[in-house]
């Protein structure tokens, strides 16, 4: 339950726009529609505490210059609902499967686990209890568990470790007896055996940096936090958490949050009937120029080893190109435009997106008809979350070539990022008009129809996507849309998952 909810009836004549903007920027929360009431109550409550009567402008001004006050308001608005052993399937999977695999290869360093958005601490303490049950006193050597939350009051409760009955609603009585001591009737304090395994820190996941206790985790639990963030913030925080993970590390989200994080940042994996995300080497921007439908270079490149070599090759040409004066001098030979494009692909593949973009702009300034450069630029900007720029590149492509399938797909994905499902649906329809066997457009149409509860049509779209994906090689399907590359296997998993959910819908 939101702490400030129902405190005071919402006066709709009060303009909350600037409060909403401030909170979206500072903590990532959106207070549209039904959450406006909570915002109004929280603001009213803090204004009363600060003796500001009805002076909304004065309170906004105070929030802008007083970080502590902003924190107090944020604390009133966060939803801290949590309890021990919540959604236990992922916890069991982590303790029984993921962690034994990690410690079998780990010699000296502890396995690092972060609970991001841990609220009052029940989630990290549940993990500590489970690990203690399985690994006994070795736990202190084997594990480092960190819980972080934006809400300093919640972190205060977590550090104290004293809980009432609602926190124990899903907990086994034997574990309660073993790991808690009664403080007063109905209140229990976690024992040192467990509390010394967990460290708590106040952290804003949208803040500029994360503390050292969050760095290089093997596992991040990020459960029931993102539901309050709008799409762009979800993507931003998910990307930052993914960056923190060690290679091969796992990120677990809540059951209802799985699919909307499948935005190509981490690999979605299904194991033991559970979905989770794993950090694997990037799959995007493989060398696939043979598949380009608009490229002017028909040459065939080797796959596999060449892909690796190009990613690891020192990139010097692009520097020459990026630093070259716009009017070529006799002293500096201008690299061939196709060679430059190869370099831009290699840089993109090497995750050096900014440098790739510099090189692509150089290519475009030399040959504004080199369509592959625009497509790569659009998909890089899309991957970097620079959606407005990506959109204008795609619109430019369509201005020159109204039959470019990739541009429609990218525009559809951008519209989805902005939450504009109508526009996204229109774009995916356009893509299907151009290419009825475009599995990606069928898939995303299915996602949109599913969200709109148009069950029958969603089923049709997922079935079409699955049928196409199941015919032919998944690798080739994943590479159909140059320069975007997808892990088609993950899409097969999601299609099947969605169809199984749709089986019970009329």
- Which residues contribute to the site for ligand SAM (CB under 6 A)? 27-28, 78-82, 86, 117-119, 123, 149-151, 154, 203-206, 223-225
Question: What residues form DSSP beta bridges with 184?
Answer: 187
Backbone angles phi, psi at 269, to 5 degrees: -120, 145
Kindly write down the DSSP assignment for every residue of 373-384, as one continuous string. HHHHHHHHHHHT
85 or 428, CB closer to ligand SAM? 85
Q: Could you tell me the two tokens for 173?
A: 């009585």
Taken in order 37, 40, 42, 45, the sign of the CA dihedral is: negative
Cβ(436)–Cβ(445) below 8 Å: no
The helix/strand/coil state of 23 is helix
Taken in order 413, 414, 418, 423, the sign of the CA dihedral is: negative
Q: Kindly calculate the radius of gyration of the chain based on its CA atoms and give it in whole angstroms.
A: 26
Backbone angles phi, psi at 321, to 5 degrees: -70, -45
Cβ(231)–Cβ(419) below 8 Å: yes
User: How far, in Å, CA of 138 to CA of 82, rounded?
Assistant: 28
Residue 373 region by backbone torsions, left for phi larger than 0, else alpha for psi between -120 and 50, else beta: alpha
Judge residue 67's burial from the number of C-beta atoms within 10 Å of its C-beta, 0-12 exposed, 13-18 middle, 19 or more buried: exposed
Listed in sequence order, the residues at least 6 apart from 252 whose beta carbon sits closer than 8 Å to its beta carbon are 90, 94, 219, 220, 221, 222, 223, 276, 277
Burial 426-461 (b: 16+ CB within 10 A, else e): ebbebbbeebeebbbbbbbbbbbbbeeeebeebbbb
Q: Could you tell me the two tokens for 3?
A: 């702490």
């Amino acid at each position: 339950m939101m702490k400030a909810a129902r405190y005071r009836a919402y006066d709709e004549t009060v303009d909350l726009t600037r409060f909403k903007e401030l909170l979206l920027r500072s903590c990532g929360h959106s207070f549209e529609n039904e959450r406006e009431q909570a915002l109004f109550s929280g603001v009213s409550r803090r204004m009363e505490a600060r003796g500001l009567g009805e002076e909304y402008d004065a309170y906004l001004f105070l929030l802008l210059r007083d970080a502590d006050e902003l924190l107090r308001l944020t604390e009133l608005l966060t939803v801290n609902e949590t309890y021990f052993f919540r959604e236990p399937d992922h916890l069991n999977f982590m303790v029984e499967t993921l962690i034994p695999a990690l410690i079998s290869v780990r010699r000296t360093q502890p396995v690092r686990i972060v609970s991001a958005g841990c609220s009052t601490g029940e989630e990290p303490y549940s993990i500590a209890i489970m690990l203690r049950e399985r690994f006994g006193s070795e736990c202190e050597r084997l594990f480092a568990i960190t819980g972080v939350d934006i809400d300093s009051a919640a972190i205060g409760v977590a550090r104290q470790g004293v809980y009432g009955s609602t926190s124990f609603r899903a907990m086994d009585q034997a574990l309660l007896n073993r790991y808690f001591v009664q403080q007063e009737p109905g209140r229990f304090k976690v024992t040192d055996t467990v509390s010394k395994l967990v460290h708590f820190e106040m952290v804003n996941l949208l803040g500029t940096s994360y503390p050292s206790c969050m760095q290089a985790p093997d596992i991040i639990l990020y459960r029931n936090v993102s539901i309050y963030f709008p799409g762009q913030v979800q993507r931003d925080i998910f990307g930052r958490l993914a960056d923190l993970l060690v290679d091969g590390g796992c990120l677990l989200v809540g059951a209802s949050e799985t699919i909307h994080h499948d935005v190509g940042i981490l690999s979605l994996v299904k194991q033991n009937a559970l979905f989770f995300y794993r950090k694997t080497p990037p799959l995007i921007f493989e060398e696939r120029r043979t598949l380009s439908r608009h490229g002017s270079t028909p040459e065939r490149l080797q796959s596999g080893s060449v892909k690796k070599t190009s990613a690891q090759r020192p990139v010097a040409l692009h520097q020459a190109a990026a630093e070259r004066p716009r009017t070529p001098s006799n002293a500096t030979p201008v690299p061939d435009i196709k060679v430059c494009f190869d370099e831009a692909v290699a840089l993109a593949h090497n995750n050096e997106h900014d440098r790739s973009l510099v090189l692509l702009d150089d290519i475009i300034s030399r040959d504004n008809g080199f369509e592959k450069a625009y497509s790569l630029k659009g998909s890089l900007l899309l991957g970097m979350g620079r959606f407005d720029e990506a959109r204008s590149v795609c619109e430019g492509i369509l201005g020159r070539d109204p039959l470019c399938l990739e541009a429609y797909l990218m525009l559809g994905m951008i519209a989805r990022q902005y939450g504009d499902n109508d526009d996204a649906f229109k774009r995916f329809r356009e893509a299907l008009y151009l290419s009825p066997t475009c599995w990606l457009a069928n898939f995303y149409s299915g996602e949109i129809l599913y969200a709109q509860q148009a069950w029958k049509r969603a089923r049709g779209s997922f079935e079409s996507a699955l049928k196409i994906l199941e015919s032919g090689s998944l690798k080739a399907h994943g590479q159909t849309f140059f320069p975007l590359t997808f892990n088609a296997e993950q899409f097969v998993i999601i299609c099947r998952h969605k169809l199984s959910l749709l089986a019970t819908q009329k």
